[in-house]
């Protein structure tokens, strides 16, 4: 637990949840509240993916874990806002997608770092 950057994770989770609200709420005002059931899951995945990459790119180790924790924090923020009220199944799916999106963002950051490190090694040997 010593190498986990909780500050970045908390900030990333907060910003991911904020991004979801910024996208989904205006859409629901335009298309109706029922659109939340269709827009929240993909928005949750994308926002957590983006902020998972952002947080994971700031650390040297455990990038996938950092990304997944961004999704967990975003989920906990939403559950906290809703005071643990029952949610439609689409929102539960959205919470799972937050964690998966964050983990996928962490994996993308890991692959990018490996690719960059490999390219730097090739350049340094020339």
At 63-82, the pLDDT tens digits run: 999 999 999 999 999 999 98
Which helix (H) or strand (E) segment holds residue 88: the answer is none
- The reported pTM is 0.88
Residue 114, both tokens? 């490996």
**pLDDT tens by residue, 9-34:** 999 999 999 999 999 999 999 999 89
Average pLDDT of the segment spanning 88-105? 97
């Amino acid at each position: 637990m010593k190498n986990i950057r909780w500050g970045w994770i908390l900030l990333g989770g907060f910003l991911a949840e904020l991004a979801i609200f910024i996208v989904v709420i205006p859409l629901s005002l335009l298309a109706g509240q029922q659109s939340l059931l269709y827009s929240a899951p993909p928005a949750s995945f994308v926002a957590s993916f983006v902020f998972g990459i952002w947080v994971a790119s700031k650390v040297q180790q455990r990038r996938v874990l950092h990304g997944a924790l961004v999704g967990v924090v975003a989920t906990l923020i939403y559950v906290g806002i809703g005071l643990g009220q029952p949610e439609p199944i689409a929102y539960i799916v959205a919470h799972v997608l937050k964690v998966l999106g964050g983990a996928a963002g962490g994996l993308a950051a890991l692959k990018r770092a490996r690719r960059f490190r490999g390219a730097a090694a090739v350049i340094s040997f020339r």
